[in-house]
Amino acid sequence: GWILSKRYGLNNMLKKYAVVGNPIAHSLSPQIHRLFAAQFNIELSYERILAPLDGFAGILRTFQQSGGLGANITVPFKIAAAQLVHEKTEQATLAGAVNTITFQQNKWLGDNTDGIGLLRDLTQNLGIDLTDRKILILGAGGAAQGILQPLFSANPASITLANRTLATAEKLAAALQYSSKCMACDLKNLPQQAFDLIINATAAGVKDEPLALPTFLIKQQTVCYDLAYGAAAQPFLTWATQHGALMRYDGSGMLIEQAAEAFYSWHGVRPETQSLISLLNSKIHL
């Protein structure tokens, strides 16, 4: 009982994980990982760590020294994490960003599970076939960069990258090996056509700023997907509703799936995700 754990410090032997970001207070990762762990009777601790904007590397080192085995990395540190780790998976290299770190004694391994998380949600959970589809991605920041390669792996007809700052979208498109299937355009100068899938990867909703979009982008069968979840996804999804799109989703499925993938790489077992996605959807107002 407690005497043993006091004397031998058994509590300190819990497998230790964390999510690191700034801000971090609203991250759902601790709950998600604890619920996954409960599926397998795995005992772990999973905390939220607020890292100062200029102190990310130090925070990670301290966490590892205190016994940390792995960390999820969130806004705004995913690109910094890609530069800090000693080894990266192919997904992390292609994304230029790391959202999952495994601490080994002399080496930090970086992975990026965001793209696979989105792909799982779209294709497996929502049953959307991306083959030969025309995809529009709004935004060209870190979030957009992280999903491009995985989306191309599903063999769409094309991906149009539309950004407020045209040069950023052009740079991202040009760097791709699939550049012939990828075009960049200005958010204010979109091609006059409806798309099969529109993904909002801008930070407009998170920052509560307006995102003006032309109505010709949407037909009834257009799938509208916001990478954000909860309130931040509402403006885009409301716009989609108003213009008749029947299929509208926020990023809660992606959130759970990217966590499941990280959980698998740490614990070697694949958690069931559907019940958590339902739980999350019933808590946030869609």
Binding mask 110-139 for ligand ATR (x = CB under 6 A): -----------------------------x
- Report if residue 26 touches ligand ATR, rule: CB under 6 A: no
Q: Is 194 a binder of ligand ATR (CB under 6 A)?
A: no
Angle in degrees, CA 31, 111, 145, rounded to 5: 95
19 binds ligand ATR (CB under 6 A): no
| Smallest distance from ligand ATR to CB 9, Å | 40
Please confirm, yes or no, whether 88 is among the known catalytic residues: no
Q: Near ligand ATR by CB under 6 A, which window of 58-66, 159-167, 245-253, 256-264?
A: 159-167
User: Which of 83, 155, 165, 238 is the binder for ligand ATR (CB under 6 A)?
Assistant: 165
Tokens 């070697």 found at: 268
CB of 75 to ligand ATR, least distance (A): 6
Q: Which is nearer to ligand ATR, 69 or 143 (CB)?
A: 143
* Token reading at 11: 């509590």
Task: Please choose, from the candidates 186, 240, 236, the residue with its C-alpha nearest in 3D space to the C-alpha of residue 210.
Answer: 236
C-alpha–C-alpha distance, residues 248 and 220, integer Å:
11
Among 51, 85, 143, 151, which residue sits at the site for ligand ATR (rule: CB under 6 A)? 143
**102, 108 in Cβ contact below 8 A?**
yes
The nearer residue to ligand ATR, 164 or 219, going by C-beta atoms, is 164
3-state secondary structure of 69: strand
Q: Is 191 in the site for ligand ATR (CB under 6 A)?
A: no
Of 109 and 148, nearer to ligand ATR (C-beta) is 148
Continuous H helices in the chain: 2-8, 29-39, 56-65, 78-84, 90-95, 114-119, 142-153, 166-174, 234-242, 252-267, 274-283
CA-to-CA distance for 87 and 30, rounded, in angstroms? 25
Picking from 255, 286, 265, 275, the residue whose alpha carbon sits closest to that of residue 30 is: 255
Q: Which of residues 207-236 bind ligand ATR (CB under 6 A)?
A: 207, 209, 211
* Given the residues 78, 107, 181, 219, the one annotated as active site: 78
Classify residue 208 by burial, with Cβ atoms within 10 Å: 0-12, 13-18, 19+: exposed
Tokens of 34: 């604890």
Q: Please, which residues have CB within 8 angstroms of residue 44's CB and are 6 or more apart in sequence?
A: 14, 15, 16, 17, 33, 34, 37
190 binds ligand ATR (CB under 6 A): no
Q: How far is the CB of 161 from ligand ATR (least distance, A)?
A: 9
Among 168, 170, 181, 265, binds ligand ATR (CB under 6 A): 168
164 forms part of the interface with ligand ATR (CB under 6 A): yes
Which member of 203, 247, 277, 279 binds ligand ATR (CB under 6 A)?
203
Give contact residues for ligand ATR (rule: CB under 6 A): 139-144, 163-165, 168, 187, 201-204, 207, 209, 211
- Active centre residues (catalytic): 78
